[in-house]
Chains A and B, each alone.
Chain A
Amino acid sequence: MSDREARAATRAWVAAAAPRLGVSEATVRRWIRAGRLNPSCRDVYGSVFPYLDRELSTEEQAAVERHIAACPGCEEHFGFDGAVLRFTRQRVPRPLIQAELQERLLKSFRGRAAPEG
């Protein structure tokens, strides 16, 4: 990648990161200069849900953990998404089938012979 392409990629990254982080583009640039944020954050964030779901390979999981440990912005962002996910999973209602319907369905199969074919 030429310097020019790299600068264009960083500009695009800053423009995409600002609304995601809820700050202005100037703040994103300041955070990059201060080492609080770097363009690899975007790649790492792409794995946020597989990471939280523990669906990454051991090596990938470790790589995300290393990044988070060194990146306060990502640590907060991943922690936030984890909290929202836990909230959804714990609080979503799980209605049960009505006993009458359950019994009717089971009864419709009991005693039936194996289907032909």
Chain B
Amino acid sequence: MPTCTSVMPAAGDVFASEIAPHLHGLYRMALRLTQEEQSAQDLLQDTLERAFLNFRRYEPGTNIRAWLLRIMSNVRISGFRRSSRRPQTSSLDDTEEFSLYGAIRGEGIAPLDVESAVLNRIGEETILTAIDRLPEDFRTVVVLSDVEGFSYKEMAAILEVPIGTVTSRLYRGRQQLQRALWEHARDAGILADARRSKSA
């Protein structure tokens, strides 16, 4: 049986070295989408399998992280189609305006004090919990933008939606995130402390 003497690396080796630097970001996205460790691992694995199958269509030198995330988004959507399960997406209720700025002023706390009096007392895990409570279409853009640092144009390409859709989902998503942080600050007594220290 002849042995392979080619110096060309196997396609799988090239693929593995291309994806290796991006596994942390892909894993984080899968974790935020599925909110569960095993499902996140499954989504990541399915994404990479599909990416490998289509790897010859990837143009070297273009943004591979965005390409992989677009595949992840498609894998997730086709998974829903097969199982007839649907993620919780935004509804009309989710478009209700909320302004943390207005809420803070309404509490009599100076907006300029928000970092020292309120935000710095909110734990890091609380931010993740608040992100996880967002409807999935809002959560996706908030994570892509504020956790992974993508531009609007890149997000539009990943999600295959117009930039205007990205902009409006981000606006609503961030407003809802502000609301969730506000509710946490209220329930954890952070607001009451801020009011007390102001009147002291």
Which A positions have Cβ atoms within 8 angstroms of B?
A: 16, 19-23, 48-50, 53, 55, 76-77, 79-81, 83-85, 87-89, 91-97, 101-102, 105-106, 108-115, 117
Contact = CB atoms under 8 A, between A and B. Distances in A.
Given A110-B16, A111-B10, A115-B53, A92 B128 contact: yes
B4 to A, nearest CB: 9
B97 A84 contact: no
A66 B104 CA distance: 26
Given A84-B114, A110-B16, A53 B145 contact: yes
B114 A95 contact: no
B12 A88 contact: no
A115 B48 CA distance: 13
A12 B28 CA distance: 42
Given A49-B171, A50-B167, A85-B146, A76 B128 contact: no
B20 A106 contact: yes
A76 B112 contact: yes
Contacts of A94: 24, 28, 147
Contacts of A105: 23, 44-45, 48
B11 A112 contact: yes
Interface in B134-183: 145-147, 151-152, 167, 170-171, 174, 177-178, 181
B99 interface: yes
Interface residues of B, number: 55
Interface of B is mostly: helix
A111 B8 CA distance: 11
B60 interface: no
Contact of B102 (A21, A48, A95, A111): A21
B80 interface: no
Contact of B146 (A48, A79, A88, A117): A88
A58 B40 CA distance: 40
Contact of B23 (A22, A80, A97): A97
Interface centre among B101, B119, B122, B146 (most CB of A within 10 A): B101
A93 B52 contact: no
Given A22-B105, A53-B145, A96-B24, 13 more contacts: A21-B99, A21-B101, A49-B170, A83-B114, A84-B100, A87-B119, A92-B146, A106-B19, A106-B23, A110-B12, A112-B52, A115-B11, A115-B52
A19 B99 contact: yes
A109 B16 CA distance: 6
Contacts of A96: 24, 27
B56 A114 contact: yes
Given A19-B102, A55-B151, A95-B31, A85 B174 contact: yes
Nearest to B173: A49
A87 B52 CA distance: 37
Contacts of A21: 99, 101-102, 105
Interface string B85-119: 00000000000010111111111000110110001
Contacts of A92: 124, 127-128, 131, 146-147
